[in-house]
Structure 1
Amino acid sequence: MADYGAWDRRSLLRGAAVVAGAAATAPLLGGGAAAAQAGDDADALFKAGKFEQAGRAYEEMLRTDPRNLHAARRRGFVGLLSNRFPEAERYLKLAIEVAPGDKDANRFLADCYMRQDKFALSAPHWQAAGDEGAAKVFGALRGEPYQIHGDLAQVSWLQMDPQPLVEASVNGGPPKRFTFYTGAPSLSVSATVAKEAGLSPIASSKIDYLNGKAWRHGGILESFKLGGIEVRNLPVAWMEWESGGDVTTENDGMIGTWVFYHFLTTFDYAGRQLILRRNTPETVARARAAAKPLPMWLAREHMVYSRGSIAGSGPRVVAVPIGGGSEPAAATHGDTAERLRIRTDRDRPIETFAHSHPAVAYPCYPKEIRLGDAAARDVYCYTNPNSKLDPLGFDVPVTFFHSFYKPYNVTLDFTGMNLYIAPGKAV
């Protein structure tokens, strides 16, 4: 399901100097050159994380060239980043009308429908995007997905490290130990739990995982109960080694972003509890009273982004996966550490994994990393010089991890698309 491989970047994105010089040069250019210049400007804005300005620039391109595939796809993606579904659908449908086989446009539109629980509409676009597994699972789901029963789940953590664990029930069975991570998409369970729950795979694929080969299965789960909330009829994934057996014994499963974006979700690190509430004006108002809102974007079906900074970088788009387990408070990407002159210990390389594949990182110690009013200074981080800054077309110089959030509580509002981070326990 949802094979998050490399994305096709079809245009070279130029730096901020292009934007600065555009106004002076545009009147001197011919029609074709002007359109190319506008495209460069829009891409530069998008690369810099200035999504609203980029959206307007792509709209201007489409007024000049209504069948510009790149502009339509990117404009749809801008809407999708902020869960503005009508505008995302409008431009992504235009992109697919221009190029029916465009995999990126189809994937974005499949994601757009999926976020609205319109699984039947998403399935053919997963197919067109080349994800057979997702097409099969979402095409097979019948009835209303993610049926929510109950108003509040407030569950204490069994542990903080090496990864948070909570208890939850699968198909009415005994409590199981689940971790959670917004760097993961669907709810997943271990192969053992899948067998106990009587799950049958709808789609299966063999993948490279850590240092071996594993089978990844997708299916439909009847019931998942966490505290006072039960969710029924939802997609689920599980994995097992090619030789058989669970890929991990550290937990019985993982709760991913697809579950969390159906709620107003609070990861109360300071209070060691996970809180799910129905997203209402009253519950959002309580979150807003505790902290000022930060912008939030959702990309690649499940990855959460906000605006933060590292080592005096100024406000930038940053990745904020929450949960999982990590000793470093953050990881920098590409040449970020070198460019910002962050102290790096290259004599002590760390052999680790990134997206389940081997990677080499180095300890580094930025003077400050910041997310709104939440900050950590001279804290232990990683730098991965070989990771890309812009896998989705916009630069992401730093990713915040589990350890950063420990003094705080973090609330994600997927309706207003805001992130709230406040010191201490959630009220």
Structure 2
Amino acid sequence: MTDDRQWDRRSLLRGAAVLAGAAATVPLLDKAATAVAGVGDTDGLFKAGGGDADALFKAGRFEQAGRAYEEILRKDPGNVHAARQRGYVGLLANRFPDAERYLKMAVELAPGDKQANRLLADCYIRQDKLSLSAPHWRVAGEETYAKWFAAFSGKPYQVHGGTAQLPWKQMDPEPLVEASINGGSTKRFTFYTGAPSLQVSAKVAKEAGLSPVVSEKMDFLDGVVWAHHGVLDSFRLGGIELRNVPVSWSTTESGGDVSTDNDGMIGMWVFYHLLTTFDYAGRQLILRRRTPETAGKARAAAKQAGADPLPMWMAREHGLHSRGSIAGAAGSGTGVVGVLFGGHSEVAGIVKKETAKQLQVRVDRDRPVETFAGSHPAVAYPCYPKEMRLGDVAADDIYCFTNPDAPLAPDGFNVPAVFFHSFHKPNTITLDFTDMKLYVARGQAA
């Protein structure tokens, strides 16, 4: 069994992963306990019919799947799979009371169920209940996370200040912004929503006097590194300061930096505590304390720019998804797609093997690219979908990769494509993690 978090951590050590999202993961659909409420089957990559709960879930029809799982539980209250999946549906949309109810039910029915415990642990950390997550991480086999989060006291991610507008010091090969640690001088931070926690370099960790709560040794490329996890007092991003923040850093066996490309990386856990705007067109990162007023202004600005709200889902602590489409010579399909911001990649996205085949996307198999997926060697091929679309923003015949080893349903539902850094360059994207809406418009923020 592959541990997908090992892939995530190793990709952080590299600074980013070109094929992030292509890592092998453990599906959450349990074939041994298929939950059926009626008759139906998956039709291709983008459609599902009937009332088969797992088929609906796999096709990204989460609301319908949730109702189907509820129907199963009405008839069979002891169905662990249905309880776990119904909780997962709630968690994808950050509906925490809903998610907690069903995931607790699943854990009560099967206390040793690793998947249910992992999802419940994630549910707690998204609500900043870090200590409550610890025992569930332990049951899920994540001892490092269990020790790290059990060590927290007080409220994490305390937000001070209202707004931060951070100009990008560069766009490529990865965007850089300035931030400071514990009141020190400004440092160069990249950001990547495919990463979970805030990362700092070994040098910055030493300067800030950070001490690890827990450390682990892991294989990395041709050697080994140490990954350390601790607690940061203060992280300032322009006009916003976050206090009591989970932080990680990595060192070589001699204690040096693994990479010197930047001073650290801002991951998804920081961004989902704020109303976050990636203004690619204006080359700035806009962060706001999320209030009804700031959310209303963001909606109004998006409407003025012609952007309709898109649904947003988050899987496995930081895997962001929305609804998009992709087209090839044989037509197009709309479904749940992965969306990543920041990082280090020259391609606009990943087109899954099954998607490329079904839609007849042009693939250049004469020019294989040797790259890495989470620091593991991988071979990808250039491909050129006729169109990739997110909301009203589209790119035609754009340069992408297809990786034959990338799973279609890494988190239990089909993800035909993943949209990367280069796709977003003409656009402004705002993420609202309370309403779970994504707004994308062409041009820079007003």
TM-score (norm 2): 0.88
CA contact (8 A) 2:282 2:444 kept: yes
Q: Write the mapping of 1:362-401 to structure 2, written as runs, cut at 5 A.
A: 362-401=381-420
| Structure 2 unaligned residues grouped into runs of 5+ | 9-23, 43-48
Q: List aligned pairs for 1:2-401, cutoff 5 A.
A: 3=6, 6-8=25-27, 9-11=29-31, 19=40, 41-289=52-300, 290=302, 291-311=307-327, 312-401=331-420
RMSD: 2.1
Separation of aligned partners in 2, 1:211 and 1:151: 45
User: Conserved in 2, the CA contact under 8 Å of 1:14 and 1:44?
Assistant: no
- Cα distance between partner residues in 2 of 1:94 and 1:384: 38
In the alignment, which residue of structure 2 is the partner of 1:25? Answer: none
1:407 aligns with 2:423: no
Q: Contact 2:35/2:81 (CA < 8 Å) preserved in 1?
A: no
Return the structure number with greater relative CO, CA threshold 8 A, min gap 6: 2
- Could you tell me how far 1:361 is from its partner in structure 2? 0.2
* Separation of aligned partners in 2, 1:294 and 1:314: 16
Contact 1:2–1:134 (Cα < 8 Å) also in 2: no
Residue 20 (structure 1) shift: 6.1
AA in 1 matched with 2:67: R
Distance 1:393 1:313 in 2: 22
Q: Which runs of 5+ in 1 are unaligned?
A: 22-36
What's the offset of the Cα at 1:335? 2.2
Offset, 1:364: 0.4
For 1:313 and 1:190, locate their aligned partners in 2 and report how far apart those are by CA, in whole Å.
43
Contact 1:148 1:229 in 2 (8 A): yes
Cα deviation code 1:45-69 (max 9, x no counterpart) = 0000000000000001111110101
Structure 1 partner of 2:46: none
Report the 3-state secondary structure (helix = DSSP H, G, I; strand = E; otherwise coil) of the residue aligned with 2:324.
strand
C-alpha separation between the residues in 1 aligned to 2:39 and 2:346? Answer: 39
Residue 320 and residue 151 in structure 1: after superposition, are their counterparts in 2 closer, same or farther (change >3 A)? same
Distance 1:320 1:93 in 2: 29
Aligned length in residues = 410
Q: 2:12 is matched with which residue?
A: none
| Residue identity (%) | 67
SS of the residue corresponding to residue 52 of structure 2 reads helix
Give the drift of 1:94. Answer: 0.5
Deviation at 1:19, TM superposition (A): 1.4
Match of 1:27 in 2: none
* Residue type of the alignment partner of 2:422: S
The alpha-carbon deviation at position 165 of structure 1 amounts to: 0.1
Q: TM-score, normalised by structure 1?
A: 0.92
Structure 1 pair 96–14 and aligned structure 2 pair: CA distance change class (3 A): closer
Distance in 2, Cα, partners of 1:375 & 1:314: 14
The 3-state SS of whatever aligns with 1:313 is strand
The offset of 1:211, in angstroms, is 4.2
- Report if the CA contact (8 A) 1:310-1:398 is conserved: yes
What is the SS of the residue equivalent to 2:247? strand
- In the alignment, the residues of structure 2 paired with residue 244 and residue 77 of structure 1 have an alpha-carbon distance, to the nearest angstrom, of 40
